[in-house]
Structure 1
Amino acid sequence: MTDSSDTSYTLVPEIALLAPLPEHHRKRFETALLLMHDTLAEGLSWEQIAEQSAISPYHFHRQFTLLFNETPGQYLSRVRLQNAVNLLFIDDGKKITEIAHLCGYSSSQAMAKVLKQKLGMTAKCIRDLISTGTPEDTSQLLEKLAHPGKDHSLEKQLAQSLPCELVWYPKRGMKIQHMPDFDWDVIFDTIGKKSTQLLCATPISELNHPWKDMSYTVGNWQVSSEHFDHSIPEGYYLCCEVYLVSDIAYSAAIKGLFEQAEKQGYQVDEDGCFIEMVRDVELTLIGGATFAFQVPIIV
């Protein structure tokens, strides 16, 4: 879990919390966090994680709790649940039992119990949410899995400081790629680094619709102009570039961008499209991605 390599804004609670620490302390925590994320399927306890990170369980528990505002056990349980929800959202044919084992649960029943206790939902309801629910419904669910902060989740706090810039773009073209069930996680797994060639445009007027009723225009903007068959209108866009590693941060960043538009007194063009592009993606188990988000503005 490393910081982004460019100048994008980092919306990763772990990176923000570890940044002030001396390097030797930070490295030890980074090792422990990587083990937590890399070994979910093995079902390791936080005590085993501490020992494999060459930290005494006592000191690890005390220091981790002070730094992260939750115990290492609570953090590990939350990460398991995050991964389970993410896999349920993707819905790539994996059975519930397989998802449970991949996330370190002993059985589908064990995972179901945690889903009910922490989220008040069944696995089926979560899977249905990605089609019948709205982005706001999804955001509210993901907020329950966010890193705890004093007043708000750390993801939300970081998103409130999201740096944005108003940029004029000329008309942009792309060659449409037919992807009816568009999902960035699936795209990353399917085409890897080539995902940086894609632009996704979603009508602003549809952002409050259920996922199944939203339309997406996805295209390759890096082909030569003679292959363009769709264009994005010229105009002003409020833009940000953000590095993130979770669906929670993805949702928080988008909400943060729209909140910045309102805070700065900009009028969002309801007839325009919300633009998403990927600047870079790390093809590792817990690698992140750098997104460019753009909201059309009437000036």
Structure 2
Amino acid sequence: MTEPPSPFYLVPEVALLEQLPEHLRKRFIHALTLMHKHLDDQLSWEQIATKSAISPYHFHRQFTDLFHETPGHYLGRLRLQRAVNLLMKNAPWTITEIAQHCGFSSSQALGKALKRELGVTAKQIRKMGITSTANETVALMNKLAHPGEGNTLEQELAQAMPTELVWYPQRGMKKIALDDRNWDKVFNAYGEKAVRLMGITPIKDIEKSWEEIETVIGDWQVDNEEYDNVIQEGYFLCCDVYVASDIGYIAAIESLFQRTEQEQLFVDVTGVLVEMIRDIDLSDTGGVTFSLQIPIKVK
């Protein structure tokens, strides 16, 4: 039996750390793990360096050379990413609770950072999670992406993402009952069983606001007789990609659509974007492997 292809890792930290010698890579992995897992502890980058057995001076110099930003800026950007994610997905927390969870000293400190880096307020971001379009969300999130040479590093990595044109027979799934079609909440609710799930979004809905997009999530590992949503047979441009942030996820989908233009393929606007969960790492710093599939119209 042929082994399934390994997913493409669309994670800037993984790509950057590959350049380091093993002993230093382990220390940087430890430092990044502390940053990601302990945002609410409000550790400074100097404390993180010390806990990772690296002198603050050398950590600042090496980190800046490797990541093209200072450790302080990286940590601040990470905190804002987490806060924007919670605000946009309407987490049932107050702004003060979100601020403290993301390592800000107060809601006022979070508000200042949002205004300085994004030019918006926390209330505006919460509203965007309902009324903004995917393109508007992409424009906002890209301001918090990892700096690259020209585009964001996530976008640059996505350009190297392998794709394949695949013929699928008719498929289906059984819709699951959800109060919220947010993948993060689905993962929290289903855990490892999320690998049974996929989402389908009509291509015609892609440019609508989030509240108007009719994404359906269902279990595809059921008997055909239980299907209540069917995906018509046809060609799909596909990629298997591992992402660990909303920004990486957005870059993967955006790049897949761009690839259809580059390869002079025609998106079937009567079809659906398919997102299948191939694997999920439920640890604090883990990510998700998606199979993303765009319907292609063959002329």
TM-score (norm 1): 0.97
Consecutive unaligned residues of structure 2, counting only runs of 5 or more, are none
In the alignment, the residues of structure 1 paired with residue 257 and residue 5 of structure 2 have an alpha-carbon distance, to the nearest angstrom, of 23
Match of 2:258 in 1: 259
C-alpha distance in structure 2 between counterparts of 1:22 and 1:135, whole Å: 39
Native 8 Å contact 2:84 2:125 kept in 1? yes
Specify the code of the residue in structure 1 equivalent to 2:76: S
Counterpart residue number, 2:38: 39
Q: What residue is the counterpart of 1:160 in the other structure? A: 159
CA offset at residue 181 of structure 1?
2.6
Bigger Cα displacement from structure 2, 81-90 vs 109-118:
81-90
The answer to whether the aligner puts 1:233 opposite 2:232 as a matched pair is: yes
Residues 256-288 of structure 1, C-alpha deviation per residue, up to 9 Å, x if partnerless? 000111101100001100011111111111210
Residue type at the aligned position of 1:79: L
1:217 corresponds to 2:216: yes
| Mapped pair 1:193 → 2:192 | yes
* Cα distance in 2 between the residues matched to 1:254 and 1:263: 14
Residue 138 (structure 1) aligned with residue 137 (structure 2):
yes
2:170 and 2:123 map into 1 onto residues whose CA distance is 42
What SS does the corresponding residue of 1:48 show, helix, strand or coil?
helix
1:284 is aligned to 2:283? yes
* AA matched with 1:170: P
Give 2:18's aligned amino acid.
Answer: A
Match of 1:83 in 2: 82
After superposition, the C-alpha distances for 1:82-122 in whole angstroms (9 at most, x for unaligned) are 11111112223111100000011111011001000000011
* Shift of residue 226, structure 1, vs aligned partner: 2.1
**Superposed displacement of residue 180, structure 1:** 5.2
Matched residue SS, 1:287: coil
**2: CA distance, partners of 1:115 / 1:229:** 42
* CA shift for structure 1 position 6: 6.9
Q: Any idea what SS the aligned residue of 2:144 has?
A: coil
Return the alpha-carbon distance in structure 1 between the equivalents of residues 95 and 5 of structure 2. Answer: 38
Equivalent pair of 2:181/2:216 in contact (CA under 8 Å): no
The whole-number CA distance in structure 1 between the counterparts of 2:39 and 2:5 is 29
Q: Deviations over 1:195-233 (max 9, x none)?
A: 111111111011000111111122110012221222110
Cα separation, 2, equivalents of 1:67 and 1:218: 39
Are the counterparts in 1 of residues 90 and 129 from structure 2 also a CA contact under 8 Å? no
1:208 corresponds in structure 2 to 207
**Structure 2 counterpart of 1:188, which letter?**
F
Q: Which runs of 5 or more structure 1 residues have no equivalent in the other structure?
A: none
Query: Map of 1:36-185 to 2, 5 A cutoff?
Result: 36-179=35-178, 181-185=180-184
- Secondary structure at the aligned position of 1:168 is classed as strand
- Residue correspondence of structure 1 range 241-256 to structure 2 within 5 A: 241-256=240-255
SS at 1:144 equivalent: helix
How far, CA to CA, are the matches of 2:154 and 2:91 in structure 1?
27
Tell me how many residue pairs correspond in the alignment: 295
Letter in 1 for 2:30: T
Cα root mean square deviation, aligned? 1.2
The structural deviation recorded for 1:178 is 3.0
